[in-house]
């Protein structure tokens, strides 16, 4: 297995007309690492994650995934290997099971009930949730279902956009526990947008400020 | 001066020689304008935003249908299939143009709608004529083609409007689908299917209540025109099947072409977010 970064963002800048969101942003994401992205509201943190999976093209800069420029990747293949979980954790119509299988079906894959129950356990939810209507779940449960839905595709990178921004403390800790557990159970790298410094220090390895590109926190442990 | 007098006399003669039923219809038309005024008032009060379209549509529609009525007998008598289908092509293009006018804030409606209505509408008409379902004369092809094309136009407008507005209002869900590696078609398939179903619903209701609640126009017209009642009834079922087929085919084609207006080659959403 290569020890190089799975994701490299080199000198990435983003502007909308006259307005510059960030400039010359650089980052390397390795396996078994959680990097936090911090910044003011409207500073382009979410845009940065969209750029990483080629949902948005930056004004300048290069994005390399597993040694290959994202422009040379088939967009569908790229987004199966490194998955963005948007902030809203949107659910497709139907049950939790329908939602978990949605991502697999578009790639002509399937999963057994045992596999679905195992993935639910990994995100700290019981198998009883499988037949519940996804839209009726709480924010924290939806976030974990969205993470489970992504994990079923066995990505090597996971990009989480403010996964706990709308959650209470209990749900926040549950999502954090889930994300930390992923590093132990899977060989993946995680990029997480957060504006909560305390949270960042609690569960990321380092934090990079999006506007300045500076490392504002490093967890030596 | 002499010429003016002759023209005036000609118009006077034309009006005097009109069938008394035309006078009755003109009076009814004038009275119906009261309903239109009520409709406009209701639209403005509830801010439905169709006032301008109602006024222009009434004026334009009246002129169009009168011109069509004046040449209808000639058109119905047509037996040259090239001319008949030429007229259907014109109707399909005009339908696509109408869609574009009604969805003027959405790009690419004509580009997607014209081929969809042409292929969906005309294919159904050609197959129907070849199978002997529809008699190969203007009297049958033109009105039935008009219904098929009109309904295809309605479905196309609905499909494209829903696809565009969902990309704005349910952007997060669409982005979630793309972020899981969905193609643009996979990310919008649910919207396409729902809008085709919604578009077919009024006709499905009429179809289900055929003869009990609804006495549709084609059958009524044929009976008034002297066609045996049983034949008119069978033609009514036939036209519904043709309409459903044309709607589904053209809705599917329009949606596929319209995807190019919503996504770029990197499968990124190009629909701007809704204005605040």
Contact at CB, B268 and A54, closer than 8 angstroms: yes
List the single best residue of A16, A86, A152 to mutate versus B (max B Cβ within 10 A).
Answer: A86
CA angle A142, A145, A147 (to 5 degrees): 110
Quick check: B260 and B109 in contact, CB under 8 A? no
Closest CA to B103 of B148, B64, B63, B50: B50
Q: Are strands A7-16 and A60-65 parallel, antiparallel or unpaired?
A: antiparallel
Shortest distance between the Cα of A13 and any Cα of chain B, in A, equals 18
Distance CA B22, CA B212 (A): 31
Cα separation, A109 vs A23, whole angstroms? 40
Give a yes or no: residue A1 inside a domain: no
Q: Among all residues of chain A, which has the CA nearest to that of B173?
A: A90
Give the distance from CA A83 to its chain's centroid: 6
Q: Shortest CA distance to A152 belongs to which of A199, A193, A98, A116?
A: A116
CATH for A90:
3.40.50.300
Provide the shortest C-alpha distance from residue A73 to chain B (in Å).
Answer: 10
Going by C-beta distance under 8 Å and a sequence separation of 6 or more, which residues neighbour residue B76?
A: B137, B138, B139, B142
Smallest CA–CA distance from B189 into chain A, residue:
A106
Q: Is A151 on the interface with B (CB under 8 A)?
A: no
Choose from A51, A72, A80, A106 for mutation: most chain B CBs within 10 A: A106
The answer to whether residues A189 and A7 touch, using CB atoms and an 8 Å cutoff, is yes
Q: Is there a domain that residue A14 lies in?
A: yes
Assess if residue A37 is contained within a domain.
Answer: yes
pLDDT at A220: 55
Instruction: Provide the mean pLDDT of chain A.
Output: 90
Per-residue pLDDT tens digits for A1-22: 457 899 999 999 999 888 899 9
Listed in sequence order, the residues at least 6 apart from A205 whose beta carbon sits closer than 8 Å to its beta carbon are A33, A34, A35, A218, A219
Helix (H) or strand (E) holding A190: strand A189-193
Which positions of chain A have pLDDT values less than 70? 1-2, 216-221
Distance CA B269, CA B176 (A): 12
Q: A-B interface: how many C-beta pairs under 8 angstroms?
A: 69
- State the pairing for strand pair A157-161/A82-85: parallel
Phi, psi of A34 (to 5 degrees): -115, 120
Cα(B243)–Cα(B239) distance, rounded to whole angstroms?
6
pLDDT, position B4: 56
Q: Token pair of A171, please?
A: 């749900």
The beta-carbon neighbor of A57 closest among B173, B176, B266 is B266
pLDDT at B273 (0 to 100) = 86
- Token pair for residue B202? 């009024």
Is B180 in contact with A83 (Cβ distance < 8 A)? Answer: yes
State whether A86 and B175 contact (CB < 8 Å). Answer: yes
CA of A66, closest CA in chain B: separation in Å? 17
Total number of residues shown for chain B: 276
Tell me if ipTM is over 0.95.
no
Note whether A134 and A145 are within 8 A (CB).
yes
Which residues in chain A have Cβ-Cβ distances shorter than 8 Å to B169?
A: none
Nearest to B250 by CA among B240, B261, B238, B242: B242
Determine the Cα–Cα distance for residues B203 and A146; give it in Å rounded to an integer.
39
Angle formed by the axes of helices A139-151 and A113-122, nearest 10°: 120
Residue A94 resides in a domain: yes
Q: Is A20 helix (H, G, I), strand (E, B) or coil?
A: strand
Residue B82 has a pLDDT of: 92
How many domains does chain A divide into?
A: 1
| H or E stretch covering B106 | none
State whether A103 and B180 contact (CB < 8 Å).
yes
- pLDDT (tens digit, 0 to 9) for every residue of chain B, 276 residues total? 455 567 788 888 877 888 888 888 889 999 999 999 999 999 999 988 889 889 999 999 999 888 888 888 788 888 899 999 999 999 999 999 999 999 999 999 999 999 999 999 999 999 999 999 999 998 889 999 999 999 999 999 999 999 999 999 989 999 999 999 999 999 999 989 998 998 899 889 888 888 787 777 788 888 888 888 898 889 889 999 999 999 999 999 999 999 999 999 999 999 998 875
Do A26 and A11 meet the contact criterion of CB atoms below 8 Å apart? yes
Q: Is A176 inside any structural domain?
A: yes
Distance from CA of B268 to the nearest CA of A (A): 5
Q: For residue A88, give the chain B residue with the closest CA.
A: B172
- What is the per-residue pLDDT for A187? 86
User: Is A33 part of any domain?
Assistant: yes
Domain region containing A117? 7-218
Residue A84 β-bridge partners: A159
Instruction: Return the residue in B166, B167, B175, B180 with the most chain A beta carbons within 10 A, the one to mutate for interface testing.
Output: B180
Per DSSP, the residues of B232-255 read HHHHHHHHHHHHHHHHHHHHHHHH
pLDDT for the residue numbered B97: 96
Whether residue A58 is contained in a domain is answered as yes
Chain A contact present for B176, CB below 8 A:
yes
- Please give the DSSP secondary-structure letter assigned to residue B136: S
Query: Which residues in chain A touch residue B177, judged by CB atoms under 8 angstroms apart?
Result: 92, 102, 106
Q: Is residue A207 part of a domain?
A: yes
């Amino acid at each position: 297995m290569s020890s190089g970064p799975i994701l490299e963002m080199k000198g990435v800048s983003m502007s909308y007309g006259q307005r510059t969101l960030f400039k010359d942003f650089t980052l390397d994401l390795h396996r078994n690492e959680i990097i936090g992205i911090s910044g003011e509201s409207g500073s382009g943190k979410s845009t940065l994650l969209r750029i990483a999976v080629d949902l948005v093209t930056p004004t300048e800069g290069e994005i390399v995934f597993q040694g290959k420029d994202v422009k040379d990747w088939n967009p569908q293949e790229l987004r199966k290997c490194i998955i963005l979980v948007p902030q809203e954790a949107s659910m497709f119509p139907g049950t939790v099971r329908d939602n978990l299988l949605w991502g697999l079906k578009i790639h002509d894959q399937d999963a057994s009930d045992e596999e679905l129950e195992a993935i639910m356990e990994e995100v700290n939810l019981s198998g009883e949730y499988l037949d519940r209507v996804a839209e009726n779940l709480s924010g924290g449960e939806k976030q974990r279902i969205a993470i489970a839905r992504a994990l079923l595709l066995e990505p090597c990178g996971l990009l989480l956009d403010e996964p706990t921004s709308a959650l209470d403390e209990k749900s926040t800790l549950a999502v954090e526990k889930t994300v930390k557990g992923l590093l132990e159970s899977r060989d993946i790298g995680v990029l997480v947008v957060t504006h909560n410094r305390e949270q960042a220090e609690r569960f990321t390895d380092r934090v990079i400020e999006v506007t300045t590109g500076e490392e504002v926190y490093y967890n030596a442990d | 001066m002499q010429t003016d007098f002759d023209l005036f006399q000609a118009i006077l003669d034309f009006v005097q020689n009109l069938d008394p039923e035309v006078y009755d219809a003109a009076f009814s038309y004038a009275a119906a304008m009261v309903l239109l005024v009520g409709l406009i008032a209701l639209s403005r009060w509830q801010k439905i935003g169709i006032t301008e379209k109602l006024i222009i549509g009434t004026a334009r529609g009246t002129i169009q249908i009168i011109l069509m009525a004046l040449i209808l007998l000639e058109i119905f008598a047509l037996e040259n299939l090239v001319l008949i289908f030429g007229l259907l092509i014109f109707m399909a293009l005009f339908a696509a143009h109408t869609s574009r006018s009604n969805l003027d804030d959405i790009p690419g409606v004509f580009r997607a709608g014209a081929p969809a209505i042409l292929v969906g509408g005309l294919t159904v008409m050609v197959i129907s004529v070849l199978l002997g379902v529809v008699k190969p004369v203007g009297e049958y092809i033109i009105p039935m083609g008009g219904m098929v094309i009109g309904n295809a136009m309605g479905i196309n407008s609905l499909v494209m409007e829903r696809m565009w507005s969902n990309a704005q209002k349910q952007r997060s869900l669409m982005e979630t689908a793309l972020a899981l590696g969905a193609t643009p078609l996979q990310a919008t398939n649910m919207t396409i299917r729902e809008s085709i179903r919604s578009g077919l619903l009024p006709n499905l209701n009429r179809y289900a209540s055929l003869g009990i609640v609804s006495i549709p126009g084609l059958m009524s017209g044929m009976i008034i025109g002297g066609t045996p009642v049983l034949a008119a009834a069978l033609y009514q079922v036939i036209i519904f099947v043709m309409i459903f087929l044309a709607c589904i085919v053209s809705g599917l084609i329009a949606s596929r072409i319209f995807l190019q207006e919503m996504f770029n080659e990197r499968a990124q959403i190009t629909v701007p977010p809704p204005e605040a």
